Amino acid sequence: MTDEFRNLDVEQHTSELIDRINELRDQCRYRSSSRISRELRRFAKTEKQIIPYLHANFYLMNDAQSLLDVETGIEVAVDTIAFLESEEKARKLQPDLPEDHYYHTVSWMSSCAYDNLATHTAEKEGYNSDGVHDCINDGIQVCRRTGKLECVTCFREYATDVYRAADDLDMALHYAR
């Protein structure tokens, strides 16, 4: 099989898996979606494809919220952030990294990964935990760095919840406004 045909097969299989994941998620079948996402993740890693790997992680992080699977959510969010924050790490998975596509994915997915980490950390440790404070600060910085300023709102909402949990109404109101 030539490389061209092999690449088409990889792209086709990846596309089929993503279509199946989206179909299952549309039906709120998150456990099944997670199973297919793990399959996509394994396949992408085997085929050394960073973008499908990150997409699989994105689905897994979000499905973990619906499944109340905090540990998986945290683990996958941390893994995703590591690949998004380090081009070098991403290149270890895919040496011929598609730079434009990778940078585009970093731009839109980074704040989502931190958002997922904050959500899962809050579920595990409580809204007034050091872990959530760290996620909020890091998340706001990432939103600014990637230009996704509309996503700062998510982290302001977390900050409001954190300060409400700490009975600090003044700070909660500060972030709510």
SS3 string, the chain, reads CCHHHHHHHHHHHHHHHHHHHHHHHHCCCHHHHHHHHHHHHHHHHHCCCHHHHHHHHHHHHHHHHHCCCHHHHHHHHHHHHHHHHCHHHHHHHCCCCCHHHHHHHHHHHHHHHHHHHHHHHHHHHCCCCHHHHHHHHHHHHHHHHHCCHHHHHHHHHHHHHHHHHCCCHHHHHHHHC
Measured CA to CA, the distance from residue 153 to residue 31 in angstroms comes to: 29
pLDDT (mean) for 26-47: 98
Residue 2 has pLDDT above 60, yes or no: no
Residue 175 has pLDDT above 70, yes or no: yes
75/134: higher pLDDT: 75
- pLDDT tens digits for 136-161? 888 889 988 988 888 888 888 888 88
pLDDT (mean) for 71-75: 98
Residue 49 has pLDDT above 80, yes or no: yes
End-to-end CA gap in the chain? 60
What confidence score (pLDDT) does residue 5 get?
Answer: 47
pLDDT (mean) for 101-110: 95
What confidence score (pLDDT) does residue 166 get?
Answer: 84
What confidence score (pLDDT) does residue 57 get?
Answer: 99
Residue 1 has pLDDT above 60, yes or no: no
Where exactly are the structural domains of the chain? Answer: 3-176
Report the top-level CATH class of 3-176.
mainly alpha
